[in-house]
Structure 1
Amino acid sequence: MLAEKCVRLILLLLTYLSSLSYAHNSAPVVSWITLDFPPYYIYADRDEGEGRDEQLISLLHAQLPHLAFQRQGFPASRAIHELSHSDTGYCMVSLYKTAQRKKHITYTKHYATIGLSPGLALRKETVQKLGLDIHQAVSLVDLMLKHQLTLGVAQSRSYGEKLDLLIARLPPDQVVVRPGWDTLQSLTNMLIKKRVDLVLGYPSEHYYLSKRLGSDDLLQVSLAGVPLVAKGYIGCTKNADGKQAVTVFDETLAQLVTTDEYRRIMLKWLPDHLRRKLNRHLTTDIRLLSNEVPTTKEQK
């Protein structure tokens, strides 16, 4: 069975390599779009090169050593446009699938990244004052309406359909919408300075920023009523090369996501209590991929 899968992957890879356009050095190249967006890509910091998505690209190509690649940096505001409308074609890690994007982007069937869904960053004193348990999910509505807390969110960013609708229904005078560059860092600074009480973002982002800003006064909590995890996919420009590329990536991802190195990369930018939560989900996912049956104790 394993030999059959290896032969299939080699054949797919050879087909893809034979059809790729060649660069000036006559070597086939996959062009990955990258962003200056920590902790997914880290350009200039003591953790440079340790971003989640950039490490995943390197890990992916370690499994595909004959497939050359390069990275092309774009501003976040241009990335999807370039991916969708490039003449030469690009690929990008960790994308949500939407109906609009599918018109111009072809996706892997298998997820490439997995992380916890958006949560809240808040000060330790708020946790203590309200008697919150950071190991338990909290209700955003209860925090906002019962305790009159102020929420900070980034302008023009989606947190998922359910959360977006919920935020739109909150009292406007309790929601601070921040525009511009580095919005999450700006909101986190406001949180530290007590200008807002809560900041909405992805847990890995909160954790990275608290480390970068040197603040030990912030904690994270998960939100009740939202999916535990968010999965991202590899997307490539929708042309013949892109379609063959995602087929090759799909074959590799199925095995890649079961490795210890993949797990390490996905868990790196999380605080301990949230790392344990995602780790449990990764373990369950691997069992399902391996057709393993959980024990009775784990089923409870």
Structure 2
Amino acid sequence: MSKEFYFIACFFISFQINAQLINWIIIDFAPYYINTDELEVQGRDRGVIELLHQQLPGYSFSYSQLPGSRLLHELANPQHNFCFLSLYKTPERLKLFHFSNHPSTIGLAPTIMMKKSTALKLKLQSNKPISLAELSANHNLVLAASSNRSFGKSLDAIIKSIPAEQKIYRAGNDVLNSLMTMLHKNRVDLLLGYPDEQLYLAKKLGFIDEIEIFTIKEAPSYSVGYIGCSNNSLGKDNIAQLDQALLSIYSLPQYYQVLSRWLPEQFHSDLKIMLQQEVGQYGAKVAP
């Protein structure tokens, strides 16, 4: 075998191996990713990735753990080859990443957590939706939220309009954990997030009995996340494969089980309805 042919063969084999590899970004963000040995695959999004892997036996999956504050920057670098599960689609992001056509996760929309004492002071009724815009404009409350994520077009616009002195908009590792601690210590009044992550952390931090969660009038009935991959040829190919795999996992009982794993029991029936509505658009069915 000539040297030229040898190097060409090695390059081709290397390309084939790389083309069959999907490198996922994972972040330390419970309950979506729980990066401890005993619960590593128990995170919601990590569980969905495992189901996708079962549908793509010819692919190898690898994992790169990054700080949440670096997620979008690294994913947007076309010199890298990364994918990430459960991203909101926004016009800005569509320019930066390849997105799946089909959703990877469906869950309840963002909610507002506050202390029961605050809800009592504002005379809010439990289980009744509240307006984030009205709360911020009329009551001089301080809102806490993570700055390295999108909460949807309407809520993102409201957050942007809130005066700087009325919001703590922070990025970094364990950001929700630190913001929830600030809520517990009365340094902020409202915490924007999702019910599964809010209840998970409130229980973990030991003050679940002190808080109350409200749905938001400006939020949609549910939230949909998509897979995003690097904006290059390999990312495009990976998205095409992952899109087909998503259609295959919708009907698996394990898919619903993963999505509801960390969601409070009272939200399970709502999730089932939302899931049926969303995946039904693609001719898929949810397992009973």
Query: Would you say 1:22 and 2:14 are equivalent positions?
Result: no
- Asked if the contact 1:149–1:174 (Cα under 8 Å) also holds between the matched residues in 2, the reply is yes
- Asked if the contact 2:30–2:43 (Cα under 8 Å) also holds between the matched residues in 1, the reply is yes
Q: Residue 54 of structure 2: which of 39, 53, 62 is its match?
A: 62
Q: Residue 228 of structure 1: which of 217, 221, 224 is its match?
A: 221
- Pairs within 5 Å for 1:90-129: 90-129=82-121
Structure 2 unaligned blocks of 5 or more: 1-12
Q: Give the counterpart letter for 1:21 in structure 2.
A: Q
Structure 1 unaligned blocks of 5 or more: 1-17, 293-300
Query: Would you say 1:39 and 2:34 are equivalent positions?
Result: no
Q: 1:47 to 1:219 in 2, by over 3 A?
A: farther
Query: Would you say 1:208 and 2:203 are equivalent positions?
Result: no
2: CA distance between counterparts of 1:161 and 1:291?
Answer: 27
- Asked if the contact 1:90–1:236 (Cα under 8 Å) also holds between the matched residues in 2, the reply is yes
Secondary structure of the corresponding residue to residue 231 of structure 1: strand
CA RMSD of aligned residues (A): 2.9
Q: Give CA deviations for 1:11-34 in whole Å, capped at 9, x if unaligned.
A: xxxxxxx995326xxx93221111
Report how many residues are paired.
272
- Asked if the contact 2:88–2:225 (Cα under 8 Å) also holds between the matched residues in 1, the reply is yes
Q: Residue 281 of structure 1: which of 270, 274, 277 is its match?
A: 274
Deviation of residue 237 (structure 1)? 2.1
- Asked if the contact 2:68–2:173 (Cα under 8 Å) also holds between the matched residues in 1, the reply is no
Q: Give the counterpart letter for 2:244 in structure 1.
A: E
Q: 1:139 to 1:115 in 2, by over 3 A?
A: same
2: CA distance between counterparts of 1:189 and 1:213?
Answer: 8
- Asked if the contact 1:53–1:94 (Cα under 8 Å) also holds between the matched residues in 2, the reply is yes
Q: 1:157 to 1:290 in 2, by over 3 A?
A: closer
Deviation of residue 57 (structure 1)? 0.7
Q: 1:19 to 1:93 in 2, by over 3 A?
A: farther
2:183 match? 191
| More moved, 165-174 vs 222-231 | 165-174
1: CA distance between counterparts of 2:159 and 2:153?
Answer: 10
Q: Give the counterpart letter for 1:279 in structure 2.
A: K
Q: 1:142 to 1:82 in 2, by over 3 A?
A: closer
Secondary structure of the corresponding residue to residue 258 of structure 1: coil
2:257 match? 264
Please, what TM-score do these two structures have when normalized by structure 1?
A: 0.78
Q: 1:287 to 1:82 in 2, by over 3 A?
A: closer
1: CA distance between counterparts of 2:234 and 2:166?
Answer: 48
